[in-house]
Each structure stands twice: as structure tokens, then as C-alpha cells.
């Protein structure tokens, strides 16, 4: 699978909304895979935030939402809170089971 | 409660070997595909390997293909990663992760272990 592209960093003030993009090609983020998103706090294991492009697991705040259009997936965090400061990774998952992660985006709450 | 506990990490010299283990509990292990994902110090996540529930399908990242072997023992509820010909660039925290299949038939990781650190250095 091809490499994915994410912004290195995104910042916002408490209460604001931010969006993290994840761009790929038709063979990964496009029609032949789905995207999931993971949050990782320092020295912690990643945690699933979004799967199947836009679905939210139980227990994840509804402030987190996902979407996909063409070869770009997006994670939006609304009502930004201090606890949202973390690294966020998109993951393109092929039906076969192979996966590729984006380089990660550091979210800073100002 | 789903639990994944990795072990087997440590310091190894370049060219050496190491076998990582992951003990699973809280779910029917044989019904789930599993992955290994690694993270070099200060770097991002890198998918390493995938193994289906019955070990029928196995895939590796190009960066480790030919040097690592993933296996599982469903009776013991354990996942393994045998790593050979280790390189300095294999230094990372190695996470064991559970796959779940979505409504479209695509797998995604829903649970992660806490990871085990592998350091390759002379």
C-alpha cells in the first residue's frame, strides 16, 4: 500500500473545532480500503476513535467524527478540550488484513 | 474485559533473534485476527504483520518480510512474533493488537496491548 499523508501538527483553542486530514491514493484511502483513526497520549497505547471511515466505537465522545471523500479521510474534533491533546494516526485497512498508518498529527490545545 | 499483554522484549545485538509473545484474555481468541504494530522511539506507528484467526492468512510489511514470522496458539490464547536478523532500525515498542471486522468486511484494530520494548544495539 502507498504512504499516507497527514499534517504534522494542528492546534486550536478550547471549544474550537479542528480537522485532521489523511490523504492517500485510490489503492489505499480510496475505494479499496477503509480508514480508522487512533489517539495516542504520550507513553500510552493507541486508542481507537473512529472505524469504517466514520463510525464511532461505544465510549468515544461524540465530539469526534470521521468522514471520507475520494482519497482523503478526515477526523474532526469539535469542542476541543485539554484532554484531546495527543497524537492522532489514520490507518488504511485493506480487506486482506494488511494495513498502513499515516505519519501522525500532533494536536495541541492552546 | 479484553486484555493483551506482551512480553519478550529486551536488548539484543544486531543480527540476533528475539521472540515476542502476547497473552490474550477476555475474548474468544480464535475468532479474531491479530496484528503486530511497532513504534520506534519518538516516531509513528508502523504495521508489522497480520494473522487470521485460523492462521490461514498471514501478511507482513515489506520492512520485515523474510526476517520475522508471526504465529499463534489458539489453545494457549497466545500470539507470537519471531524476529531474526535484527537490525538497529528494528528498535521499537512492539504492540500486539486485536482486529475486528466491520460491516463491509474490512478489518480494523480495536484493542491494543501496552507494548514491549525491543532494543537492537551493540
**Which of A36, A99, A105 is most worth mutating to test chain B (most B CB atoms within 10 A of its CB)?**
A99
CA angle centred on A51, ends A46 and B52, rounded to 5°: 80
Residues of A in contact with B112 (CB under 8 A): 45-47
Grid coordinates belonging to B92:
521499537
The pLDDT value given to residue A63: 97
Nearest CA to CA, how far is A17 from chain B (Å)?
Answer: 24
Rounded Cα gap, residues B72 and B75, in angstroms: 9
Q: How many CB atoms lie within 10 A of CB B10?
A: 11
Residues of A in contact with B47 (CB under 8 A): 91, 98-101
- The answer to whether residue A2 scores a pLDDT higher than 60 is no
The pLDDT value given to residue B103: 81
The pLDDT value given to residue A94: 85
Poorest-confidence range of A1-5, B20-24, B55-59? A1-5
Grid coordinates belonging to A24:
492517500
pLDDT tens by residue, A54-101? 999 999 999 999 999 888 999 999 999 999 999 999 999 888 888 999
The 10 Å CB-count burial string (b at 16+, else e) for B18-56 is: bebbbbbeebebeebbbbbbbbeeeeebbbbbbbbbeee
| Long-range CB pairs of A76-79, under 8 A, 24+ apart, other chains included | A76/A17, A76/A18, A76/A19, A76/A20, A77/A12, A77/A17, A77/A18, A77/A19, A77/A20, A77/A107, A78/A17, A79/A15, A79/A17
Residues of A in contact with B103 (CB under 8 A): 52
**Gyration radius from chain A CA atoms:** 13
The pLDDT value given to residue B67: 97
The pLDDT value given to residue A34: 86
Q: Which residue has the higher pLDDT, B111 or B102?
A: B111
- The answer to whether residue A3 scores a pLDDT higher than 90 is no
Rounded Cα gap, residues A19 and A1, in angstroms: 24
Nearest CA to CA, how far is A48 from chain B (Å)?
Answer: 6
- The answer to whether residue B87 scores a pLDDT higher than 60 is yes
**Which of B47, B59, B64 is most worth mutating to test chain A (most A CB atoms within 10 A of its CB)?**
B47
Grid coordinates belonging to B97:
493488537
Contact A91 B59 (CB under 8 A): no
Contact B44 A101 (CB under 8 A): yes
Residues of B in contact with A48 (CB under 8 A): 108-111
Q: What number of residues does chain A have?
A: 110
Is residue A24 within 8 A of residue A40, CB to CB? The reply is no
Report the relative pairing of strands A72-77 and A18-23 from DSSP bridges: antiparallel
- The answer to whether residue A23 scores a pLDDT higher than 60 is yes
Residue B30 CA to its chain's centroid (Å): 16
Average pLDDT over chain A, rounded to an integer: 91
Within 13 Å and on the Cβ side, how many CA atoms surround B17?
7
User: What is the pLDDT averaged over residues B28-52?
Assistant: 96
- Cβ of A58 under 8 Å from any chain B Cβ? no
Banded model confidence at residue B108, pLDDT cuts 50, 70, 90:
very high
Amino acid at each position: 500500500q502507498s504512504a499516507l499523508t497527514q499534517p504534522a501538527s494542528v492546534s486550536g483553542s478550547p471549544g474550537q473545532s479542528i480537522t485532521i486530514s489523511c490523504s492517500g491514493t485510490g489503492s489505499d484511502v480510496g475505494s479499496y480500503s477503509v480508514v480508522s483513526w487512533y489517539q495516542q497520549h504520550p507513553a500510552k497505547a493507541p486508542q481507537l476513535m473512529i472505524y469504517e471511515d466514520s463510525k464511532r466505537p461505544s465510549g468515544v465522545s461524540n465530539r469526534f467524527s470521521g468522514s471520507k471523500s475520494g482519497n482523503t479521510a478526515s477526523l474532526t474534533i469539535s469542542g476541543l478540550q485539554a484532554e484531546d491533546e495527543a497524537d492522532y494516526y489514520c490507518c488504511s485497512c485493506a480487506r486482506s488484513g494488511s494495513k498502513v498508518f499515516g505519519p501522525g498529527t500532533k494536536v495541541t490545545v492552546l | 474485559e479484553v486484555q493483551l499483554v506482551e512480553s519478550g522484549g529486551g536488548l539484543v545485538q544486531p543480527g540476533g533473534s528475539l521472540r515476542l509473545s502476547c497473552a490474550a484474555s477476555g475474548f474468544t481468541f480464535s475468532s479474531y485476527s491479530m496484528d503486530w504494530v511497532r513504534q520506534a522511539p519518538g516516531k509513528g506507528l508502523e504495521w508489522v504483520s497480520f494473522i487470521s484467526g485460523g492462521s490461514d492468512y498471514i501478511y507482513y510489511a515489506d520492512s520485515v518480510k523474510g526476517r520475522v514470522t508471526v504465529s499463534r496458539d489458539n489453545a494457549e490464547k497466545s500470539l507470537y512474533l519471531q524476529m531474526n536478523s535484527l537490525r538497529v532500525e528494528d528498535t521499537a515498542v512492539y504492540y500486539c493488537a486485536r482486529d475486528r471486522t466491520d460491516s463491509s468486511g474490512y478489518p480494523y484494530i480495536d484493542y491494543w496491548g501496552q507494548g514491549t520494548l525491543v532494543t537492537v544495539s551493540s
